[in-house]
Amino acid sequence: MDTLTINLGDRSYPIIIGEGALCKLPEVLTSLQAKGTVGLVTDTNVGPLHGDKVVTQIREKGLNVKVCVLPAGEPYKRLAVIEGLCEDFLLAGLDRSSVILALGGGVVGDVAGFAAAVYMRGIRFIQIPTTIVAQVDSSVGGKTGVNLSEAKNIIGAFHQPSGVVIDLCLLTTLPDRELRAGLAEVIKHGVIADASLFEYMEDHVDALLKKDLAALTYPIRRSCEIKGAIVEADEREQGLRANLNYGHTFGHGIEAASGYERFLHGEAVALGMCAAAALANSLGLVDVAFVERQRRCLQRYGLPTHWPDMSVDAVWESMQHDKKAKAGKLKFVLPEGFGRVVHRSDVSESEVRRALETLLTV
């Protein structure tokens, strides 16, 4: 068991990481002086697997619990779901002394966090991420939100959790495809901030894909350290925090163009990383060896690195709605080497399209 702290003044919070970390949930609720009814938000995949265990721990603290089960999947990350959750919270008697628990992957965390941000103008919530992508990325940092059909995470708020409980044992029930998709975000962290982490991901493919919890501990903890340090330095994404968007400008366009149904988030990010590396190569920032080494690593985890039937026009159109664009210009995070990235907003449409076209050929 290990605890990291995200230092944000009076909004600081712990990240508890380890096998069996869920047993610490009652302590976290005590530290928050939770009262009355706790809202537990989960989905149809995770709820049947882990919901009862969490409900039992809540009730052992003498608290009531309102369980809200969402349909699983990115297509349900919509504003109508937020309205439904807030109505459930109100009818169950949740008030400003209450706490929301988000038990699930990135979609559950984003939706529950946004509901917590707007219900009664903001109440506390705890992230209990059950997927790799949620544990190493979306549960840390306070970004919450939902999608429009044209763009991902375009409606949302910064609302930091009051705690994050990362129980590695919850990963044992994670489907293999979800595991692989989540590891794309760990590889991303290696590319943007830590060449040693990238090398670890190259060297431990078999153990990580077998869900060896001992092997998973280091990359999950290191990813939380990387993201936590960036969030502490730039909570509202005025500069440094944009580094975390490596692969995401392309990836979010790919997700939207495919209707949020063809690719998991991490899979789209893997494709986006390949396109970003190709763009960096065309701009003279990295050599071909970098592009190929990153691609090989992603491929070894079974992640997509090509989309032969992709519509470049559709992805380009979706990218125009990227919330990080300023004055109509897209901002790209591009590698200069393993562990180093730069921001570029002087990239032409033709250069972006050529980068996307590299995904068409296997």
Question: What positions carry a catalytic annotation?
Answer: 121, 143, 185, 227, 237, 241, 245, 248, 252, 265
Give yes or no for a contact between 276 and 335, defined as CB atoms under 8 angstroms apart: yes
Would you say the C-alpha torsion 17, 23, 26, 27 has a positive or negative sign? negative
CA distance 58 to 268: 36
Compute the chain's Rg from CA coordinates: 20
146, 79 Cβ separation under 8 angstroms: yes
In sequence order, the β-bridge partners of residue 342 are 334
| CA gap 105, 84 in Å, rounded | 19
DSSP secondary structure string, 153-187? T-EEEE---SEEEEEGGGGGGS-HHHHHHHHHHHH
Look at residues 19, 54, 53 and name the one whose alpha carbon lies nearest to residue 40: 54
Q: How far is CA 356 from CA 278, 280, 360, in A?
A: 8, 12, 8
Calpha distance 15→107 (Å, rounded): 19
